[in-house]
Chains A and B, each alone.
Chain A
Amino acid sequence: MTSLRRSGAIDLKLLGQGQRSWVMAGIMAIMLFLTVLSGALGLGVARSAGGLDRQLAGQLTVQLVEPDAALRDSRAKALVVGIARVPGVARVREADRARLAALLQPWLGDAGLDPDLPMPVLIDVTAAPNAAAAVAAAARRIAPGVRVDSSARWLSPVRGLLATLFWVAIGLVVVIAAATAGVALLVARAGLDTHRDTIDVLHMLGSTDLQVARLLQRRIARDTLLGGAIGTLAALALVALFQTKLALTGSEVLGGATLAPIDWTLLLLLPIGFALLATVATRMTVLRTLGLKL
């Protein structure tokens, strides 16, 4: 008799054990496999971009063009000293002019070595990210004609690619979530149809629409969690494999894509989020559909 008393069991018994249950679980496994992969891509790209930003935010290049060699040298010295005094500046170094000339030699020929040629002065500055503006201001005070470039600019195409990838990944997650809600809606409608007789009897016995909705909700929550867990685990295994491969590339941008524990947690929350989404979609579908009746 104890088996008769278990109330949780009555819900599932009421709707019977159908084939559809596995269809929903299978669809959810695929949905979450794709979602977790997209989510991992998005998070990895965000990590990578964040690392890049942190690295480059404080890298500045101050460029001084001055035809008068004496003035140029004195200003270069003043710049190095002045910028070093700005709070947050870690390192100031004038680029080696001889090396610069050597670099330019293929374009300028031996003329590049002519001391009279107005070679620009390049000063590399490493500063805290929030000190960049102060560095630029100090440099302009000392030599009004200077150009201050953030190195981030040089990498902007890479940065742009990462941003695009991030939004593509987010977009995929949103699209799959919408598809999941759509599937839940169809499954809920089919469920209302399949179990019409049972639901009619329940209504006649005084069941509220909410009680009926809960029956279908619980079932879909169970199916989506089961399927979602399988899909999520498969995707996470694949992500873990990718992570080890990325680490092996030794590339800074790619290696920066390593997921932090919080990222793994977020990915693990995806199937729960999707189950909630499917549950809410089911509830709304059932309440809307039943609300149109007598």
Chain B
Amino acid sequence: MGNIVHFENVGLRYGTGPETLSDVSFTLATGGFYFLTGASGAGKTSLLKLLYLAQRPTRGVVRLFGEDAGALPRARLPGFRRRIGVVFQDFRLLPQLSAYDNVALPLRVAGVRESEIEAPVMEMLAWVGLSARVTAKPPTLSGGEQQRIAIARAVIARPEILVADEPTGNVDPEMADRLLHLFEALNRLGTTIVVATHDLHLIRRIPQAHLMRVEKGKLVDPTGLLRHPPGAA
């Protein structure tokens, strides 16, 4: 098993402000399950943004799928992003599209034929328990329902890495368990999972998961295991 993500002394600064992330170094093994924790404002979302290529590091190196992501030309970003599924903290669903069309979007972007879209989308909607809301538009859905649509959209195209930013913040514990079960199933199929969360209960549910912790923009790695994971070559 190789490494899918490698951060080397990464720093991120928004505009001219102080560094939001400093000297972040870690390695994620392909097929691993990772939790990212830390207080609100610690920099979890910022770290994930570097991971899903919404931000370029202001210093250091971010390697993704074996390539220097910071140096990727714009034309190559779409190809990389299609290999990454993202559950945004604020969902970022398209309000003008139905639940169905929101979930189908990654497949359509990837050029999948219409005839091959309906079955997986309906299956995905069933998985997150929203078969009855297929035609509903996001503004008419509850926060929890929107979150589940966001998760369905993130995993529909079978990404190599799934990045979820507090994906269970708006759902009840039962649904949170169910969603985690979905992540586990994906993980067993080989998808690398990175979940930012405060939810200790959630973390305990996956005993084999690795724990990463950010504090004030720095990655806490007292054992050095995040830098040099034993499983990774």
Contact = CB atoms under 8 A, between A and B. Distances in A.
B209 to A, nearest CB: 25
Contacts of B55: 294
B109 A206 contact: yes
Interface stretch (A21-29, A86-94, A195-203): A195-203
B74 A293 contact: yes
Given A4-B118, A205-B106, A294 B74 contact: yes
Interface residues of A, number: 26
Nearest to A294: B56
A16 B115 CA distance: 24
Contacts of B79: 206
B81 A10 contact: no
A13 B96 contact: yes
B202 to A, nearest CB: 24
A14 interface: yes
A207 interface: yes
* Interface range for B: 20 to 34
B126 interface: no
Interface string A1-38: 10011110010011110000000000000000000000
B33 interface: no
A207 B110 CA distance: 8
Contacts of A291: 74
Which of B74, B79, B100 has the most A CB atoms < 10 Å from its CB?
B74
B100 A4 contact: yes
Contact of B109 (A4, A6, A202): A202
Interface secondary structure of A, over-half rule: helix
A14 B94 contact: yes
B220 interface: no
A201 B106 CA distance: 10
Contacts of B117: 5
Given A1-B118, A204-B54, A204-B86, A10 B101 contact: yes
A199 to B, nearest CB: 10
A244 interface: no
Contacts of A198: 94, 96
Nearest to B84: A206
Contacts of B54: 204
B109 A14 contact: no
B181 interface: no
A257 B109 CA distance: 53
A294 B79 CA distance: 15
B92 interface: yes
A10 B106 CA distance: 13
A211 interface: yes
Contacts of B153: 205
B89 interface: no
A291 B74 CA distance: 7
Nearest to A17: B96
B52 A204 contact: yes
A208 B78 contact: yes
Interface string B116-128: 0110000000000
B193 interface: no
Nearest to B92: A201
A104 B106 CA distance: 91
Nearest to A200: B92
18 contacts: A1-B118, A4-B104, A4-B118, A4-B134, A4-B135, A5-B118, A10-B104, A200-B92, A201-B92, A203-B77, A203-B78, A204-B81, A207-B109, A208-B78, A209-B74, A291-B74, A293-B74, A294-B74
Interface of A: 1, 4-7, 10, 13-16, 197-198, 200-209, 211, 291, 293-294
Given A201-B94, A206-B79, 12 more contacts: A4-B118, A10-B104, A13-B97, A14-B94, A14-B97, A198-B94, A201-B92, A205-B153, A206-B82, A206-B109, A206-B110, A208-B75
A-B residue pairs, 6 tightest by C-beta: A206-B82, A206-B81, A206-B78, A208-B78, A16-B96, A205-B106
